[in-house]
Amino acid sequence: MKIALVTGASRGIGRATALLLAQQGYAVGVNYVNNETAAQSVIDEIHQAGGKAIALKADIADEAQVVAMFKRLGEELGPVTALVNNAGILFQQMTIENLSAERINKVLSTNVTGYFLCCREAVKIMSHRHGGKGGAIVNVSSAAARLGAPGEYVDYAASKGAVDTLTTGLALEVAAYGIRVNCVRPGLIYTEMHASGGEPGRVDRVKANLPMQRGGQPEEVAEAISWLLSDSASYVTGSFIELAGGK
């Protein structure tokens, strides 16, 4: 049985990924932090299509909640075989002079510590070293990790740089234990994240500078994630797929 956990799956890229994985036969743990109604709508859609899914409330930055989430997933669906580390946050555009320690810590605790904690719990369950059957992890980073997001959100970009390095290191650390770890780096994707993170008109401005002249859809990112998780990618680990319209 293929069992996936997708963090931040009540909307955006996480939602599209949870729906696609369910279509592909995964039983899916739909993690959310506060929007229970939105998470439930993902579950309902999966159930209506004949799939299997449960909602899992947890703040990925909270160690006890992450541990409890993996435990519940194991009890209700079975041991995780695929983890999609997707939940992330982005705050208003700001230059470095105005970045508060509170904001920096919040970004790092979700986008970095949260990813580490979920990887740790997944590895404990998947690893051949602990009697597990193996598995695959996909981390959702960002083109910002390459570009740095100067004058906009260097805190967010740096957090995604850490996700990239986590992917590289962990892929090597667990390769011999049946676990593949890969990464997708989306560019401009049409989700609600931009409602909180940019000045009005930013999306159109960024879009105009992209070689493909358009942003991406969450479903286009979900396709790459599902491929990296699948047996079709059985010899792929430590890899990065850019989903950024050419930039």
Q: Among all residues, which ones are annotated catalytic?
A: 156
Our finding on whether 139 is near ligand NAD (CB under 6 A) is no
Tokens of 172: 């090597």
The residue of the chain with the least Cβ separation from ligand NAD equals 12
Query: Binding to ligand NAD by residue 53, rule CB under 6 A?
Result: no
Min dist. Cβ of residue 158 to ligand NAD (A): 12
- Nearer residue to ligand NAD within complex by CB, 81 or 141: 141
Site string for ligand NAD, 59-78 (x = CB under 6 A): xxx-----------------
Q: Pick the stretch among 3-11, 94-102, 169-177, 230-238 that binds ligand NAD (CB under 6 A).
A: 3-11
Closer CB to ligand NAD, 81 or 110, in the complex: 110
- Which residues contribute to the site for ligand NAD (CB under 6 A)? 7-8, 10-14, 31, 33, 59-61, 86-89, 110, 114, 140, 142, 186, 188-189, 191-193
